[in-house]
Amino acid sequence: MIEETIEKLKILQDILSEKFAVENEIDELPKALATKQELVNRLKKSFVEKNETFEETRRRVAEVRIRMQEAESDREKYESQMDRISTAREYDALDKEIREASDREQQYRRDLQNEQKDLDDQQTRLEREEALIRAQEEELEEERAKIATETKNKEAKLEELQKREGDTIPGLDEELLYKFERIIRSKAGEGIVAIRNGVCTGCQMILPNQFVNDVRSAEHIHFCPYCSKIVFFADTPEEEGAGFAESDAEGLSDLVGDDFVDDLLDDEELEGMDELLGDDYDGDDVESDGVAAAAAESDEDEEADDDDEDEDEDAADDHADLLEGDDEGDAFDDEDTDEEETDEEDEEDEGDE
């Protein structure tokens, strides 16, 4: 029963993962459209503000033009009155009015040129932004149509997944199904994982042995105590072949490998061994014998070293005895020499007498 539930959950995991991914994609599609719509709205808002500035500049241009025309009219009027003056005082006053009117006219003309240039620049920028807005609106409409098509296709796929889900969930506990769906949503589409070598493959945490045994017994549904995912026991070749008692008992023969003897001896030595060992030669036996022989050779070397040390000690003792003997001989020789000299002196004394 538990094995059947586990298999259904594995199938359901794939369905739910794909289903939730499609739902997220359907939710994300309008967001891309909203971003483009926001861009167009900002462009339109900027265009409206700049258009208001443009209209204000155009009104100023019209006012400056009117004032320039008034100054020009005043100048022409004053100039027409020059023919009717009769005194120098009237001439000076009229000439002053003409100069002032002419100055105002020139100032308004310069202002008008500046305002007109500014107005032309604003108009150019407005035309460029208006073209950009139209292009963005066209792209927005194309994107809207594309999103509508994609949404329709994804909704069709979502319906298919929901149908597969409905065919899979019969027989599953409702509470278990609710928890499983929440795990799938919160764990990036993964809700059921295997336990291999005592490790949860969902979070890579080592699990207690008793918990692993409970999962292996497959009597109940278990959740990983670390990542909360549903876990099931998976037999692996590593686990089936686990254990090192036999390999440890083999010792060095496992480490040296099957080609140990071949690597240790050349072809001629191997042929010689074949002749010595006969037809019952076995590589495994040779390996064991080689290890034993190596151990025996090591023992012999140690014994030989001990013998050499004993011989060295005996030689040193003999050499010391020999040196002591030489010292005693030298002492006896010295005594004999002294006695001979004493005898010669006695003889000489007797001769003198």
* 234 and 133, same domain (yes or no): no
Quick one: pLDDT at residue 115?
92
User: What percentage of residues in the chain have a pLDDT greater than 70?
Assistant: 67
* 145 and 220, same domain (yes or no): no
- The distance between the two most distant Cα atoms of the chain, rounded to a whole number of Å, is 197
* 267 and 232, same domain (yes or no): no
Does residue 172 register a pLDDT over 70?
yes
For residue 199, the cross-strand partners are: 196, 206
pLDDT band at 193; cut points 50, 70, 90: very high
* 262 and 151, same domain (yes or no): no
* 161 and 123, same domain (yes or no): yes
Contact 229, 223 (CB under 8 A): yes
More confident residue, 146 or 350: 146
* 42 and 145, same domain (yes or no): yes
* 26 and 163, same domain (yes or no): yes
Does residue 301 register a pLDDT over 90?
no
Q: Rounded CA gap, 51 and 37, in Å? A: 21
For helices 2-80 and 174-186, angle between their N-to-C axes, nearest 10 degrees? 50
* 38 and 141, same domain (yes or no): yes
Contact 22, 152 (CB under 8 A): no
Quick one: pLDDT at residue 250?
41
Does residue 257 register a pLDDT over 70?
no
> Does residue 299 belong to any structural domain of this protein?
yes
> Does residue 182 belong to any structural domain of this protein?
no
**Mind listing the pLDDT tens digit for each residue in 72-126?**
998 888 888 888 888 888 888 888 988 998 999 999 999 999 999 999 999 999 9
DSSP code of 280?
Answer: G
* 130 and 26, same domain (yes or no): yes
Amino acid at 337: T
Does residue 134 register a pLDDT over 60?
yes
Least confident of 20-29, 196-205, 288-297: 288-297
Q: Rounded CA gap, 273 and 295, in Å? A: 19
pLDDT band at 188; cut points 50, 70, 90: confident
Query: Torsion angle, CA of 130/132/133/134, rounded to 10 degrees?
Result: 90
Q: Look up the domain containing 296 and give its range.
A: 249-328
pLDDT band at 281; cut points 50, 70, 90: very low
Average pLDDT over residues 268-288: 48
* 202 and 259, same domain (yes or no): no
Quick one: pLDDT at residue 295?
47
| Per-state percent for the chain, helix, strand, coil, to nearest 5 | 80, 5, 15
Unique residue bearing structure tokens 């108009």 = 123
Quick one: pLDDT at residue 125?
93
Contact 37, 140 (CB under 8 A): yes
Nearest partner of 201 among 226, 168, 177, judged by Cα: 226
Q: What is the CATH number of the domain that holds 48?
A: 1.10.287.1490
Please compute Rg for the chain using Cα positions: 58
Please, which residues have CB within 8 angstroms of residue 22's CB and are 6 or more apart in sequence? 154, 157, 158, 161
Does residue 42 register a pLDDT over 50?
yes
Quick one: pLDDT at residue 329?
46
Quick one: pLDDT at residue 309?
56
* 256 and 302, same domain (yes or no): yes
